[in-house]
Amino acid sequence: MVDFKMVLSDPKTGRAYNVTVSGGAAGSLTGRKIGDELDGGIFGLPGYRLKITGGSDRNGTPARKDLPTAGRRKILLSGGLGFKPVMEGQRRRKSMRGNEIGSDFVQINATLTGYGEKPLEEYYPKEIAAEKSA
């Protein structure tokens, strides 16, 4: 089965949580597209709603919402996600991933659109060891 690293962003608090998704929850993400809304109960977050906002594959190639394919394509970019032009009118052909989540994705970015009864801090407490070393 596939394992994903999900970066779950909370717009109310401004925090992001790193969640490892595996097993059946990871299988439910396969085949979804960027912009789809999911029920948080799949990931152990009852009452929450998640919206997929992006992702990247094992090489770090970002996924674009406006590229309707499952694989990787070389597209001509003039700005936006994946390319920042230095000069006016500059364009470059870059490799980008389509908007459909496949088994070769490593990271999936999501944001919360609906909230449950318990706050996210109860599901994902802060790591004390990381705070001491920082």
Give the closest residue to 117 by CA, choosing from 48, 19, 49.
48
Which pLDDT value is given to residue 124?
83
State the chain's mean pLDDT as an integer: 89
pLDDT value for 110: 95
Q: What is the pLDDT of residue 70?
A: 87
- Residue boundaries of the structural domains of the chain: 4-67+98-126
CA-wise closest residue to 10 among 72, 44, 53, 41:
53
All residue ranges of the chain with pLDDT < 70 are 1, 127-134
Q: What is the pLDDT of residue 133?
A: 57
